[in-house]
Chains A and B, each alone.
Chain A
């Protein structure tokens, strides 16, 4: 029972990261209808950025988060403006597929060239601190990370729901023609959303560094899980992405606990396929 509770908590804490990644992917897909295949690599960039900031300036990794967010937002905005927006004009899915996959390769190989392949960590005084909660022990860095990402999720949701810019983002994602009719500048919205999506991935990376190792391909598994979260949670739905991420995290730890940790990827993807098939069957039946 204790192990089960512990696994639940661990799954929940990890699932929060999948949520954050999924939300970023969701915002980008919602607005531009493109799958951002370098989303995981952006998380990895966020990790190395945190590493550099924290080793150069002696900053605590959690204090790096706002800086990482700003820098990653700018990086995303520049990539959108110089590379993705021009490719959107071609209306070719293949172009954008190659563009984002290529960017991902460039980023992970760039990290390999600059930092080498060794695993790095950012040592903190509280890395091994645990908080006892009844029978469950929670690693402090995981707890802090989770709290921060819950706050970010709520802020993102409120931003999209209540601010004028947030409403414009939703307007473009629901009806681009209608958005042009009411004078919304789609290019500006594209820059903003890709910036926000990239910043979310970067922040996820920064929050991971408290307890996760940093290496050039660290983002890959998170990138794939972000896609699953988007599909399971529903396109355009921020709360949906949040809960889908948590579900995914719980599923993984349950598989690791009851079957074997080495099967968790396998089961995750099988579940994903099953959900897709079942959903398709429901859609067909409704018609």
Chain B
């Protein structure tokens, strides 16, 4: 219990006719990086706002750092989905103000502001007004505001959206560094690569309901891979002809990127048997089962309604090898 940083139990939230969050429960352990995924309007930001005690749940219990987030605001860093700054304030003044709200002394705040502006590659903006910064710079500035007080819990709502690849990579490295320093991080994102790269745990919500809550290892194990990568040792044409005659496969295509065939195994067929069939059909230099990516899991799980997902799981479209 002491290691649980965030705990939600049967949390519900309704806005008029819309049930934004439905009976959601989960826990996040100390030091974990948890990706909070879901399509637009799935209830991620509402859940995060309830965790932050900005919104109150209609029912259910939320515990953050052993109590209410209201009592732990100084120990939580938060980057909201909607970016907001005082446009007329100078960058250093804005950060000092946020630091003061979080209980950091002026001299300490100034040192940290200088360090973070360097770290995030914004060294010369401290005397500029916030409105003079580009959108990406403003986003990085807000990120600094959320980590300036070195919180043990960091909640980031879409931290990578709107950033160019260079800044996305920069922010990823900062998040990774914070993770190494023991910060517990919950972040929502649409960037599956980032989530796969950074997360220990993944929560997936869809239409207000939790549809997935597992570690990355569990996800890789749970979702049976259905794609075989096969690099032929003979010509592509000959291999293509040979693959047409394999009964256990549903479809295949040549991947220029992988320099191999991506072969989709037919429904209900054991992947090991299908791999053996492919090897019998054509000589191969390399053959492997492609790991299910988070992207695949996301698309599969939220491609239909929750009912459809359940029926898909029952029909074997999503084969769970572990529970």
Q: Do A and B come from one complex?
A: no
Residues of A whose CB lies within 8 Å of any CB of B are none
